[in-house]
Structure 1
Amino acid sequence: MKKVIKGWEHIPGIHCGSAALRDVAGFYGLPLSEPMCFGLGGGLGFFYLIDNEISPTRNIHLRGPDMEPNFFSLFSDKKEWMFEKDNEKALQTVLDYLDRDIPVLIQTDIFYLDYYNSGTHFPGHILVVSGYDSGKEEIYLSDTGFNGLQAVSFKNFKKSRSAKIKPYPLSNNWFDVSRLNTEADLQILIPRAIKTNALNMLAGVTSPRGVSGVERILELSKDIVNWKGVEDWKWCFRYSYQVIQKRGTCGAGFRWMYRDFLNEAKDYYDFEFTEQIAIKMDHIGNEWFELSEFFKKISEQDSPDSFLTHSSQRLFNIYNLEKNFYTEIVSNL
């Protein structure tokens, strides 16, 4: 038996999480753009992890934790990621919600998603489960930039949801979205979301991936000079370039996506102030983009030694720009 959520439509997007938010919001009659969903969910973050058991051994991530439940908590009851140890039970739970035409958000490792044909583990990739076929034993997924629904076998679907890969091992992470309040006032929600994200960046937020916050940028600025002694330094720089510029980040570690959110937000809240911080975020995004290009260049050298001090200085500059940005928001909202 084939079952697809009645009335479901997937629109290809840029980032897995914000594209999923946009799809579900649209399904329930809330026509928001992907940047608006990203901003309302408080998508900005920064992680820096040192772990010699992962690849690369120096790992950065520029998106904040819990953007998806944060977003839906604005429009419904409080949402949190839920977990399930039993893979069969986790699968059946998803199928039960689909039978009721309720979309389910999940986290996956793309290594096991057939249509990626990927040899690289990447846990934490967010999708919406949109249907299934019990006869073929396959699940149908709405995934970021792909057109239509993507089919994955039940077997690999279960593997993708339970992969124990550092730095983000999965335990069938999921939550359902059964309704949304389409009458929620964006004039209230937007400044609240902007301030909350700023507070989180200043104070730091602990998650299964580690601590996200602006001080982690300072930590990287201080530590990057030590990368010369790291065996996989080339991959550390190349991966950092990819994470900032290439992997669904809108080109600048999500900072340009947040800029686009702020440019939309100014139509709902304090046009002049929001326009000013949008311009500042655009500049911050430019700095991240240029840094990623510099990291790419370093990854192609025989030695990183002559580039490390400049890398540290550029990161320290970004740290100051971001800290001042969030401090200004907290002081004015």
Structure 2
Amino acid sequence: MTVTDYPHRPGAHCGSASLRNLSAHYGWGFDEPLCFGLGAGIGFGYHEAGPASRTIMGRTSWLESIFFETLAIPFAEGDGEGWGTAWEAVETRLADGTPVMLFADLYYLDYYGTDTHFGPHTLVCVGSDGEEVVLSDSEFDAIQRLPTERLRRAWGSEHGFVGPLSNRWLAVDGEQPAPDATVESAARQAIGRAADGMLGDDERGAWGTQGVAGIRRFARELPNWGELEDASWTARFAYQNVERRGTGGGAFRRLYADFLAQLGFLDDEYTERTRGIADDWSALGETLREGSETPSEDVFERAGEQAGAIADREEALFADLRDEI
């Protein structure tokens, strides 16, 4: 059973690119920055666990489901069920021609060939024949095939960012429903939700210390990163989560700036401020990369100063955005 004519394309970020491909499949016409912004995807998390001693993440944990909620698109979601129950739900939807979003650990996705655990990584399952699954993974130009047993390991991995993955899936519920909300009304709602999350009013966060508070904690602790047993890897992984690993550059801020640029009700000032913050994140990423090669006290102190300045700029930006909408 395979979803026919699924419009797979690679993209900047796994979650927003998967949503963009689903949007093309259902005829909604949203590009990737719109999907990212309408899902209130911009965020920040700082956690003392993960593939390194400290993990940072520049997006929210709720991007994919909030996209559907904001647009009032009916969807079904499963989380925390055993493999058999969860996989049966997926196969039932595939049999009906419905693609299903999954959240997995890259380590077990053999086509990556990586020895680093990284998850949840978002992809879309578009087929299964029992022995293999067919996956739309936005990191690749072509559809991928994977043994079902390896998906089982990836989908329920013990090595998520802040805890085990839990066979989570998400799918549109119904026959190609159209969004009920207009882009402007949905965008206003999504910006408000993102601002609340960044400024500390949204308790839905699951990835450590959230929002501006998380950036400030990150800034305070950076000068001591040189004392970590895995200081070089922690700095390297943080650099990757700023500039690489599907962020679109600048810790997802460039992707969010491209979203804001499409909104006619906002002044261009907000786009430019967000792009400037993205540049600041890229500069911090370079300092972290330097720290990964030479983990000195001076480098991490400089990184802490950069992160503190970013926190100030982001607090002001999201406070202004919340007032504006």
Identity %: 30
Q: Which of 36, 39, 57 lines up with 2:37 in the alignment?
A: 39
Which residue of 1 is the match for residue 215 of structure 2?
217
Indicate how the Cα distance of structure 1 residues 210 and 180 shifts in structure 2: closer, same or farther if over 3 A, else same: farther
Is residue 289 of structure 2 the alignment partner of residue 325 of structure 1? no
Which residue of 2 is the match for residue 161 of structure 1?
155
Aligned partner of residue 128 in structure 2, secondary structure: strand
Is residue 181 of structure 2 the alignment partner of residue 184 of structure 1? yes
Aligned partner of residue 121 in structure 1, secondary structure: coil
- CA–CA separation in structure 2 for the residues paired with 1:110 and 1:168: 15
In the TM superposition, what is the alpha-carbon distance from 1:77 to its structure 2 partner? 4.8
> 1:234-273 CA distances to partner (integer Å, 9 max, x unpaired)?
111111111100111111100000011111123xx24xx2
- CA–CA separation in structure 2 for the residues paired with 1:226 and 1:147: 41
Is residue 116 of structure 2 the alignment partner of residue 123 of structure 1? no
Could you list the runs of 5+ residues in structure 2 that have no partner in the other structure?
none
Q: Which of 289, 294, 307 lines up with 2:287 in the alignment?
A: 294
> Where does structure 1 differ by over 4 angstroms across 4 or more consecutive aligned residues?
77-81
**For 1:97-246, what aligned pairs fall within 5 Å after superposition?**
97-134=93-130, 137-166=131-160, 167-178=162-173, 179-182=176-179, 184-203=181-200, 204-246=202-244
Indicate conservation of the 8 Å contact 1:112/1:160, yes or no. yes
Indicate conservation of the 8 Å contact 2:44/2:59, yes or no. yes
Using structure 1 for the length normalisation, give the TM-score. 0.92
**For 1:274-289, what aligned pairs fall within 5 Å after superposition?**
275-289=268-282
> 1:93-122 CA distances to partner (integer Å, 9 max, x unpaired)?
211100001111110011111211221111
Could you list the runs of 5+ residues in structure 1 that have no partner in the other structure?
none
> 1:13-50 CA distances to partner (integer Å, 9 max, x unpaired)?
11100011011111111011101100010111111112
Aligned partner of residue 279 in structure 1, secondary structure: helix
- CA–CA separation in structure 2 for the residues paired with 1:152 and 1:184: 37
Indicate conservation of the 8 Å contact 2:73/2:172, yes or no. no
- CA–CA separation in structure 2 for the residues paired with 1:103 and 1:55: 30
Using structure 2 for the length normalisation, give the TM-score. 0.94
Which residue of 1 is the match for residue 247 of structure 2?
249
> 1:64-83 CA distances to partner (integer Å, 9 max, x unpaired)?
12100000112335657521
- Cα root mean square deviation, aligned: 1.7
Indicate conservation of the 8 Å contact 1:76/1:180, yes or no. no
Indicate conservation of the 8 Å contact 1:75/1:180, yes or no. no
- CA–CA separation in structure 2 for the residues paired with 1:37 and 1:56: 29
Aligned partner of residue 6 in structure 1, secondary structure: coil
Is residue 27 of structure 2 the alignment partner of residue 25 of structure 1? no
- CA–CA separation in structure 2 for the residues paired with 1:75 and 1:217: 29
- CA–CA separation in structure 1 for the residues paired with 2:76 and 2:247: 23
Task: Name the aligned partner's letter for residue 292 of structure 2.
Answer: S
- CA–CA separation in structure 2 for the residues paired with 1:322 and 1:211: 16
Indicate conservation of the 8 Å contact 2:250/2:278, yes or no. yes
Indicate conservation of the 8 Å contact 1:123/1:169, yes or no. no
- CA–CA separation in structure 2 for the residues paired with 1:83 and 1:199: 25
Farther-moved stretch of structure 1 (69-78 vs 304-313): 69-78
Indicate conservation of the 8 Å contact 2:257/2:275, yes or no. yes
Farther-moved stretch of structure 1 (214-223 vs 114-123): 114-123
Aligned partner of residue 11 in structure 1, secondary structure: coil
Farther-moved stretch of structure 1 (240-249 vs 228-237): 228-237
- CA–CA separation in structure 1 for the residues paired with 2:70 and 2:3: 23
Indicate conservation of the 8 Å contact 1:49/1:60, yes or no. yes
Task: Name the aligned partner's letter for residue 324 of structure 1.
Answer: A
Task: Name the aligned partner's letter for residue 36 of structure 1.
Answer: L
Indicate conservation of the 8 Å contact 1:238/1:295, yes or no. yes
Task: Name the aligned partner's letter for residue 111 of structure 1.
Answer: Y
Indicate how the Cα distance of structure 1 residues 192 and 84 shifts in structure 2: closer, same or farther if over 3 A, else same: closer
In the TM superposition, what is the alpha-carbon distance from 1:227 to its structure 2 partner? 1.4
